[in-house]
Structure 1
């Protein structure tokens, strides 16, 4: 692989591919000056990639896409995507970008997608976040309670996890809008209530409630989560499995033990990151925003385009920001990282990494575009 990457890097730097990215006017964009000579090559250090925006072969009339929220790879090597267009929530691609199947018409807020091998069978854990477009105007967002569904890979429902008030973990007025799940080796299910009340809820393999931790108003501020958007099981040290939880509005990842004890917080400067995705020794994530909402003079600052992706090493240092500027540390502290001037991405929401180290990027508010493939060089 190193020789191949060196060859590709040399070849790409010598090329003059300058296909311009021209986003439409209904999003807010910063000025794009000084675009690199080869905007199809992004990333830093050992994590550099060639951009392939045309990887997915999607007919938008047959397979409409609203937001591409997340993607996982199954045991057959297929790439399984969830979106929030209920005409086809789940779209399954092969490695060439061809659509093999689609199913699901019941998740208007389809958001989280976790795949687990359970006894040789692929299982999907799907989060319906509760956010949906109004049926009246198709624009207004409606907020309601969501749920988690355990599904087979072909769409058979196994069971659901509903509002935690049913097990006494929430009071009836508390919102439950789950955004992500993680499943431990013993089958315990961890649900991140990232758009609701910001707790991590733990259930056993059958959906029986065990405990909750997190939330927003703890005496020990280390336990506070604000927009607990993602969660992942970290098995990089098999003797010490732990959880990585996103606290997106705090621009940080927080590590917890499997029984909910805070271990450490990793601050990530201005990066409003989505779920952590572990591949090898690295943690990858989509960066939905990198700007300060209060400092952009626009009516809807959450629509301002400032997203990209990031790679963090086993020492919790960000080593590459494909689609963003090079990450720089001063006195051990990550400095502000902005979107690249080529405007490669809209809002990075999730990444999926395959066996070739290619990265598939799903985007929120990406003008109904399909996932983008980044080929490692």
Structure 2
């Protein structure tokens, strides 16, 4: 074989190797615009500017904004319960009270005091590895300064449920009580006073349209023309269900192919994070398949699915959705600020901090 031919073959192998490497290493989504129609967003993977040795996370579970304009993140790393960021992503401080199992949070004010609710879902992690252990969850009330006010009793301690209490989220009601969604446990909604007294419970597994299966979040739309409505994901059913404040079933939003969490209401839109989708929307449940949904607040129709397939309605019904871009791994929860930018926290995503999606104007 001639030297010329050998050189040609060698060059070909180099090109093939380079091509294979490019195929195996997907391009970073940082800076890419995703979404549909008027709700398109530019991905900012580097929003969070924190040192993992100082403020480590395992899962970036849920986010909310305090009255100081800072973003609070609840984590399940045993070193810290909350991490506080400036809007530009700069690390401010951690709140570490040894609570563990952080999954949901709620920030609200009462009598001039700003409170921070910590939802321990019962799944506890060690600092290293991935080997969570399931136990009783707990709801803890703190101030945003980090002072513990009280720990709420569990249903088991109250003698009304012998199973594990594994709450996912909570919502502060217009009357000043708390609704706690036991989404990994009984699927009941428990209403407590801020002093820790149980008022009532409702929801749970039923055999009708009100059934809740993996009540993974809870939020309230006080402006709905039908009256204040409590929206609860029935995540295993790919549905979000609406109830009155007393627990009477009202409505369902079908989200075929999407396993979504709690709703966030902002102006004329609704937002939710999808933790999994199905292959082509109809097949098997896929790992690392999250995306985000943006809905019209009035019609409850999906307008955009950043990271997912374009929403299509046929005869008024949303067609199954699925992940189309490898941007997110498991979108667990999100927060939307006053200018429409989205902050997304992920579960089981290699311990990474939240991302920001900046609205393309």
Aligned to 1:317: 301
Instruction: Report if aligned partners of 1:79, 1:93 keep a CA contact under 8 Å in 2.
Output: yes
Instruction: Report if aligned partners of 2:108, 2:116 keep a CA contact under 8 Å in 1.
Output: yes
What secondary structure is seen at the aligned counterpart in 1 of 2:156?
helix
> C-alpha displacement at 1:213, in angstroms?
1.2
Distance 1:95 1:86 in 2: 25
Distance 2:118 2:145 in 1: 13
> C-alpha displacement at 1:239, in angstroms?
7.3
Distance 1:374 1:124 in 2: 25
Distance 1:254 1:139 in 2: 32
**Inter-CA distance 46–374: structure 2 relative to 1 (3 Å threshold):** same
Pair member with larger Rg: 2
1:208 aligns with 2:200: no
Aligned to 2:155: 164
Instruction: Give CA deviations for 1:194-235 in whole Å, capped at 9, x if unaligned.
Output: 11111011112322111111111x35x122110000000111
**Higher relative contact order, structure no. (Cα contacts within 8 Å, ≥ 6 residues apart):** 1
Distance 2:282 2:339 in 1: 40
Distance 1:329 1:272 in 2: 18
Structure 2: tracts of 5 or more residues without a match: 1-23
1:270 aligns with 2:261: no
Instruction: Report if aligned partners of 2:117, 2:142 keep a CA contact under 8 Å in 1.
Output: yes
> C-alpha displacement at 1:366, in angstroms?
1.1
Distance 1:368 1:36 in 2: 17
Aligned residues: 336
Alignment of 1:54-133 (within 5 A): 54-133=46-125
Aligned to 2:15: none
> C-alpha displacement at 1:355, in angstroms?
1.5
**Inter-CA distance 77–67: structure 2 relative to 1 (3 Å threshold):** same
1:353 aligns with 2:344: no
Could you tell me which of 327, 335, 343 is aligned with 2:311?
Answer: 327
Distance 1:239 1:123 in 2: 29
> C-alpha displacement at 1:108, in angstroms?
2.8
Aligned to 1:149: 140
Aligned to 1:178: 167
Structure 1: tracts of 5 or more residues without a match: 1-30
Superposition RMSD in Å: 2.4
Aligned to 1:284: 271
> C-alpha displacement at 1:156, in angstroms?
0.9
Distance 2:190 2:223 in 1: 23
Distance 1:224 1:313 in 2: 24
What secondary structure is seen at the aligned counterpart in 2 of 1:249?
helix
Instruction: Report if aligned partners of 1:236, 1:281 keep a CA contact under 8 Å in 2.
Output: no
> C-alpha displacement at 1:238, in angstroms?
7.1
Aligned to 2:321: 337
Structure-2-length-normalised TM-score: 0.87
Structure-1-length-normalised TM-score: 0.84
> C-alpha displacement at 1:288, in angstroms?
0.1
**Inter-CA distance 144–311: structure 2 relative to 1 (3 Å threshold):** same
